[in-house]
């Protein structure tokens, strides 16, 4: 099917692609609906005042409810019920004080679907001195570094960049990591090899066999690593893990950085006089021979790049019936959607030690020259790229840089680059200038 025949299809048409299990709505009207609020990313019961820390303010808030000074609103402050028994009493105060002291207890939390689950607190007690963590994605390793637990990650899924390809400059512990088949793992093997905690809940990964894993004794934290489910995403996961592991002091500086980045982005958006633009996200990865897109899908799940873009005044031009919005299409179909901007998601380039900065840029350039450069967006110099898995944690800083490329008169690029540099300087092993790295967002016209 060529561009002209696709363009002739009526507005909001459903296209069935022969040989490709994708159903696309062209000119879809899914506007950005990402929850920008940072008011409560901590999802553990006991976080009574619904902020991002578990501390004495929470026990005091619960005591005020008991004393009648505050009326408990179950809808706005559900986490005040620390032991999840339906009532607020002194037992909740006692439990929060146990958490603050680091004493062993059962901790309840809300998973990505809003279901109540529990973990043994602190999770460092599950690890002890001999046991390890298994993660579905490199984002789990990035989180572990911030948590001070990087050396406890012993397994990563083969569906991500396998340890043999990971850059040891970014992941010094990679030589000690092993791989497991994400879609069909040998759980007894993981257990026998000392894994006790599983991070991630992708429906094609841990989410599909979590009951079996739990029956074997694994502790599973059912929160997303580099995806969002009902607007619960990586920031929620990292902040919640900090409390679950009893190491929230290690996440404090990251929370402060994130709050600062969020404030800068919101201030710039509110001051700008930008007009909303439409977008399509080509998905580009090493060794991918077929063409895929990230988009809003049929379910509650979106990839981190979609949520990043939805922070900005942008509207998705394509939606898909894939549950997670990740779907195989044709290049002609994507080009024919004719959005104002194309923003490519560059997956696995940044963490693969065999890929140079020049190769990262060339891969983006090559894909754009399959027809995107001749599109309306291409003719208007609106072809961009962001590193997919590496935008999950510095999401506001990356979004700021992208905004400065799309609307250079309204967003100060140096503000964004300064924020992104701060993230990589303080929260990763990366040592260099981020603007000239594989972590940098790209603009086709600058290549």
Using one digit for the tens of pLDDT, what is the confidence trace for 233-242? 999 999 999 9
Q: Are residues 117 and 104 in the same domain?
A: no
Note whether residue 38 is domain-resident.
no
Render pLDDT for 332-360 as a digit per residue (tens, 0 to 9).
Answer: 999 999 999 999 999 999 999 999 999 99
Rounded to two decimals, what is the model's pTM?
Answer: 0.91
Rounded CA-CA distance 437/12 in Å is 39
Q: What pLDDT score was predicted for residue 38? A: 67
Mean pLDDT of 154-180: 88
Residue 121, H or E segment: strand 116-121
Mean pLDDT of 274-294: 91
105-110 and 326-329 strand pairing:
unpaired
Render pLDDT for 241-270 as a digit per residue (tens, 0 to 9).
Answer: 999 999 999 999 999 999 999 999 999 999
Using the 3D structure, point to which of 225, 250, 275 is the last residue of a domain: 250
Mean pLDDT of 285-303: 88
Dihedral-angle region of residue 102 (phi above 0 means left; psi in -120 to 50 means alpha; beta otherwise): left
Write the DSSP symbol of residue 296: B
Output the CA–CA distances (angstroms, integers) from residue 102 to 52, 55, 98, 118, 127, in the order listed: 17, 11, 6, 16, 15
Q: What pLDDT score was predicted for residue 207? A: 74
Residue 378, H or E segment: helix 376-379
Note whether residue 36 is domain-resident.
no
Q: Which residue has the higher pLDDT, 376 or 200?
A: 376
Note whether residue 93 is domain-resident.
yes
Residues whose CB is less than 8 angstroms from the CB of residue 19 and which lie 6 or more positions away in sequence, other chains included: none
Q: Are residues 299 and 180 in the same domain?
A: no
Q: Are residues 299 and 397 in the same domain?
A: yes
Q: What pLDDT score was predicted for residue 25? A: 53
Q: Are residues 377 and 407 in the same domain?
A: yes
Note whether residue 35 is domain-resident.
no
Of 10-24, 154-168, 392-406, the range with the highest mean pLDDT is 392-406
Note whether residue 64 is domain-resident.
yes
Q: Are residues 11 and 100 in the same domain?
A: no
Q: Are residues 16 and 127 in the same domain?
A: no
Domain of 165, CATH number, reads 3.40.50.1980
Exposed, middle or buried: residue 274 (CB in 10 Å: 0-12, 13-18, 19+)? middle
Mean pLDDT of 422-445: 97
Mean pLDDT of 379-407: 96
Write the DSSP symbol of residue 232: B
Note whether residue 23 is domain-resident.
yes
Rounded CA-CA distance 90/106 in Å is 16
Q: Among residues 190, 202, 54, 212, which one has the least CA distance to residue 136?
A: 202
Q: Are 279 and 339 in contact (CB under 8 A)?
A: yes
Residue 399 has, within 13 A of its CA and on its CB side, a CA count of 29
Mean model confidence pLDDT for the chain: 89
Note whether residue 21 is domain-resident.
yes
Render pLDDT for 44-57 as a digit per residue (tens, 0 to 9).
Answer: 999 999 999 999 99
Rounded CA-CA distance 401/283 in Å is 19
Q: What pLDDT score was predicted for residue 2? A: 37
Q: Are residues 289 and 241 in the same domain?
A: no
Q: Is the pLDDT of residue 157 over 50?
A: yes
**Quick one: three-class SS letters along 2-66?**
CHHHHHCCCCCCEEECCCCCCEEEECCCCECCCCCCCCCCCCECCCCCCCCCCCHHHHHHHHHHH
Q: Are residues 102 and 144 in the same domain?
A: no
Using the 3D structure, point to which of 250, 275, 306 is the last residue of a domain: 250
Q: What pLDDT score was predicted for residue 37? A: 55
Residues whose CB is less than 8 angstroms from the CB of residue 92 and which lie 6 or more positions away in sequence, other chains included: 46, 48, 62, 80, 81, 82, 83
Rounded CA-CA distance 362/229 in Å is 33
Q: Is the pLDDT of residue 160 over 50?
A: yes
Q: Among residues 198, 197, 225, which one has the least CA distance to residue 139?
A: 225
Q: How many domains does the chain have?
A: 3
Rounded CA-CA distance 363/435 in Å is 17
Using the 3D structure, point to which of 203, 229, 250 is the last residue of a domain: 250
Render pLDDT for 311-320 as a digit per residue (tens, 0 to 9).
Answer: 999 999 998 8
Domain of 62, CATH number, reads 1.10.1330
Please report, rounded to a whole number, the percentage of residues in the chain having pLDDT higher than 70: 91
Note whether residue 355 is domain-resident.
yes
Q: Are residues 384 and 281 in the same domain?
A: yes
Q: What pLDDT score was predicted for residue 22? A: 45
Radius of gyration of the chain, Cα coordinates, nearest whole angstrom: 22
The interaxial angle of helices 395-406 and 252-271, nearest 10 deg, is 20
Please report, rounded to a whole number, the percentage of residues in the chain having pLDDT higher than 90: 77
Q: Are residues 147 and 286 in the same domain?
A: no
Output the CA–CA distances (angstroms, integers) from residue 400 to 134, 156, 255, 333, 415, in the order listed: 32, 30, 17, 29, 8
Q: Are residues 103 and 120 in the same domain?
A: no
Residue 306 has, within 13 A of its CA and on its CB side, a CA count of 31
Rounded CA-CA distance 167/190 in Å is 24
Mean pLDDT of 102-106: 98
Lowest-confidence segment of 306-315, 319-328, 389-398 by average pLDDT: 319-328
Render pLDDT for 53-86 as a digit per residue (tens, 0 to 9).
Answer: 999 999 999 999 999 999 999 999 999 999 999 9
Range of the domain at 235: 111-250
Q: Are residues 104 and 141 in the same domain?
A: no
Render pLDDT for 194-227 as a digit per residue (tens, 0 to 9).
Answer: 999 999 877 777 777 888 899 999 999 999 998 9
Mean pLDDT of 101-114: 97
Q: How many helices (H) and strands (E) does the chain have?
A: 15, 19
């Amino acid at each position: 099917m060529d561009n002209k025949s696709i363009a002739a299809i009526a507005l909001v048409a459903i296209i069935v692609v022969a040989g490709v299990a994708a159903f696309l709505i062209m000119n879809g009207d899914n506007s950005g609906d990402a929850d920008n609020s940072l008011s409560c990313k901590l999802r553990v019961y006991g976080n009574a005042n619904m902020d991002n820390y578990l501390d004495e303010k929470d026990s005091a808030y619960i005591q005020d409810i008991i004393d009648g000074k505050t009326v408990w609103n179950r809808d706005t402050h559900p986490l005040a019920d620390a032991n999840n028994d339906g009532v607020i009493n002194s037992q909740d105060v006692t439990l929060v004080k146990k958490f603050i002291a680091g004493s062993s207890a059962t901790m309840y939390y809300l998973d990505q679907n809003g279901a109540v689950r529990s973990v043994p607190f602190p999770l460092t007690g599950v690890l002890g001195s001999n046991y390890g963590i298994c993660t579905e994605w490199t984002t789990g390793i990035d989180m572990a570094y911030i948590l001070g637990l990087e050396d406890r990650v012993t397994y990563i899924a083969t569906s991500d960049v396998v340890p043999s390809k990971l850059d040891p400059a970014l992941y010094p512990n990679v030589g000690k990591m092993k791989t497991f088949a994400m879609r069909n793992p040998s759980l007894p093997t993981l257990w026998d090899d000392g894994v006790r905690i599983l991070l991630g809940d992708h429906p094609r990964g841990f989410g599909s066999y979590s009951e079996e894993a739990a029956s074997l004794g694994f502790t599973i934290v059912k929160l997303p690593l580099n995806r969002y489910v009902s607007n619960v995403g990586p920031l929620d996961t990292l902040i919640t893990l900090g409390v679950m592991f009893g190491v929230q002091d290690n996440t404090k500086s990251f929370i402060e950085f994130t709050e600062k980045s969020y404030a800068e982005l919101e201030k710039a958006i509110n001051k700008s006089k930008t007009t909303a633009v439409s977008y399509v996200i080509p998905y580009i990865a090493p060794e991918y021979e077929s063409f895929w897109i990230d988009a809003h899908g049929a379910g509650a799940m979106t990839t981190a790049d979609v949520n990043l873009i939805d922070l900005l005044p942008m509207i998705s031009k394509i939606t898909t019936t894939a549950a997670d919005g990740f779907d195989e299409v044709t290049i002609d179909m994507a080009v024919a959607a004719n959005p104002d901007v194309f923003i490519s998601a560059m997956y696995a380039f940044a963490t693969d030690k065999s890929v140079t900065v020049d190769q990262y840029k060339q891969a983006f350039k090559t894909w754009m020259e399959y027809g995107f450069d001749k599109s309306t967006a291409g003719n208007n110099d609106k072809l961009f790229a962001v590193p997919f898995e590496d935008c999950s944690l510095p999401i506001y800083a990356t979004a700021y840089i992208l905004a400065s490329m799309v609307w250079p008169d309204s967003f100060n690029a140096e503000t964004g680059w300064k924020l992104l540099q701060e993230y990589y300087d303080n929260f990763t092993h990366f040592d260099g200038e981020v603007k000239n790295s594989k972590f940098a967002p790209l603009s086709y016209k600058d290549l």
